[in-house]
Chains A and B, each alone.
Chain A
Amino acid sequence: MAEVMVPIGPQHPALKEPVNFRIYVEGEKIVRLELDLSYNHRGIEKAAEERNFIRVLPLLERVCGICSHSHATAFVKGIEEIMGLEVPARGQYIRTIIAELERMHSHLLWLGVAAHEIGFNTLLMWTWRDREAVLDTLEEMSGNRVHYNMNEIGGVRLDLSEKQVEAAQQRLPVLEERIAQYVDMVSHQETMLLRFRGVGKLSKEEILKYGTVGPTARASGVDYDVRRDDPYLVYDEVPWNVVTDSSGDVYGRTKVRIGELSESLKIVRHCIENLPGGPIRVTSAPKAAPKGEILSRYEAPRGELAHFIRTNGTDKADRLDIRTPTLANWTSVAKALVNQNLADIPVIVAAIDPCLSCTSRMTVIDTGTMAQGSISWEELVRKCRARYGTEVQP
């Protein structure tokens, strides 16, 4: 049978690294995949060399709109280590609270998107409603729903007041109840079992070979979490567990993410209840950092994020090299897709959480006739649902 190329993208609005990947299919089976990542390349790494530490933080938050705290924290904790600054405990606790709330909102978002890809829109609506509660907490604490801008070299920008803590505490039981419901749901919900089980399987060996990180790796039994393996912030003081699963398919990744939701909630609760007093930042952080280099790692919601920072004695970084988790995961997606059904593309690609939530366009080229046409992501999703008989009324 002739090979057919299906290029996906470039319009994947919700990607940090919007990609165009050409998928070669034989009939319904995927043969291989090629990548092109440049659509959202803006040149942040170059700009980071030209702006001082104060100005570069807002820029780094905007590398990605979902892991904005991750990028800023990875950078400040690296710079602080080079400077030899000791951040006050209260500052570290507040950073951890924001980080874990961010993880919760990201995982809820993902759960909804994954549910949407399989036609289970009820869950999409539920998770996004619950996500609003998390965003409300974040907004109360930081003043913004998405870009919190909480970090500063040497601490955090805003303190938590009694009132904010109370309001957050009131929301936690509600969220806990909802998360328990999801834990329960994932174990027996028919649609999820049907569409997630056995799809996009990656063995432990493959995960290690392709350098996959984050929940995708943990779902295949790779016990790798930077929060425990190279503790930063206050993760070594707070009781929590690394969630792993052994199934290695999309179902496993769902279970891991839902498990991490409850772990994050636990961490947030612990931090809020044990919030130490004292200052939230060092009194006078130096403007310039001494010469040095550091590999700052951070467990972002999607996996290990690495910032390689080199400073040269001025108030600007000499070089900032960012490796985002999604970039590390693409290699394994290419692998996971081989021999799968064309109809499973959305759910497998979504399973590494590049958040394919908005509309995307695809171009279908038949290599026989070179005829070219575009179908939207929605159409593809609809086709997939039709194939699996899970089509709901559009």
Chain B
Amino acid sequence: MTGDPQSLSQRLATWARVKSPWVTVFNSGACNACDIEIIACLMPRFDVERFGILAKGSPRHADILIVTGAVTRKQASRLLRVWEQIPEPKYVIACGACGAGGGVFQGLYHVVGDVGTVIPVDMYVAGCPPRPDEIINAVVACLNLMKEDLAQGGKEWRRKAGDTDRKETTPGTVAKDVRV
């Protein structure tokens, strides 16, 4: 994050971001159900657009990346690339049991692992799949986190002593061995 968080332009940007976060969804090897539930959020029953949350196609426009599913070998590099394309400050929500720990796909030969092994994750949503209201709740909680981060001047305050971010210690690499 650049600039003084208290400057007018920064405050304006944050205000706009929190009022209307743009979300992009990435399927890194999910079973589809999580994706379907995310789309259901956009539909009349849940209608997240009334909160200003917009689903966007391009990661370059997004503030929040929702990743569904365990990361397959082929998608790992793509996920990393999509993540790199998102402008700072970026937030990642890992959706479902798969995103959090591999779920039922834990340890299959073509699965690298959970989302956290490839990119840093800010928030996990439990459930298989989570209900749409839980997903909305996660996005809203993420917004609060955004505000909090801004007040604290970055994401560092959330890190406990001794915590190592798997992504940042070894940039660009992910677990290479197959766990079966």
Which residues of A pack against B, CB within 8 Å?
A: 10-16, 18, 38-44, 46-47, 58-59, 62-66, 68, 109, 124-125, 128-129, 132, 145-147, 355, 357-361, 374, 376-379
Contact = CB atoms under 8 A, between A and B. Distances in A.
B57 A62 contact: no
Contacts of B31: 62-65, 68
Contacts of A359: 24-25, 55-58
A47 B106 CA distance: 10
Interface centre among A38, A41, A46, A125 (most CB of B within 10 A): A41
Given A13-B26, A58-B104, A125 B43 contact: yes
10 contacts: A11-B82, A38-B74, A40-B30, A43-B108, A46-B109, A46-B180, A62-B31, A129-B44, A146-B37, A357-B39
Contacts of A68: 31, 33
A378 B59 CA distance: 12
Given A10-B74, A18-B27, A147-B129, A358 B35 contact: yes
Nearest to A67: B32
A357 B70 CA distance: 20
B37 A145 contact: yes
Contacts, number: 131
Interface string B46-88: 0000000001111000000000101010110010001000000
A64 B32 contact: yes
B123 interface: no
B119 to A, nearest CB: 15
Given A65-B34, A147-B33, A359-B55, A41 B72 contact: yes
A42 B105 contact: yes
B128 interface: yes
Interface of B: 24-27, 29-40, 43-45, 55-58, 68, 70, 72, 74-75, 78, 82, 103-105, 108-111, 128-129, 131, 180
Contact of A10 (B75, B111, B131, B180): B75
Nearest to A109: B36
A392 to B, nearest CB: 15
Given A14-B39, A128-B40, A359-B57, 5 more contacts: A39-B72, A109-B36, A132-B43, A361-B57, A374-B58
Contacts of B34: 65
B43 A129 contact: yes
A376 B32 contact: no
A47 B178 CA distance: 14
Top 5 A-B residue pairs of the complex, sorted by shortest distance between their CB atoms: A65-B33, A376-B57, A65-B32, A13-B27, A359-B57
Contacts of A377: 57
A41 B35 contact: no
A206 to B, nearest CB: 28
Contact of A146 (B56, B111, B129, B180): B129
A65 B35 contact: yes
Contacts of B75: 10, 39-40
Contacts of A43: 108-111
Given A10-B78, A11-B26, A65-B129, A42 B108 contact: yes
A40 B27 contact: yes
A64 B33 CA distance: 7
B68 A39 contact: no
Contact of B57 (A16, A42, A378): A378
Contacts of A125: 43-44
A46 B109 CA distance: 8
Contacts of B129: 65, 145-147
A113 B102 CA distance: 29
Contacts of B40: 128, 132
A42 B29 contact: yes
A66 B32 contact: yes
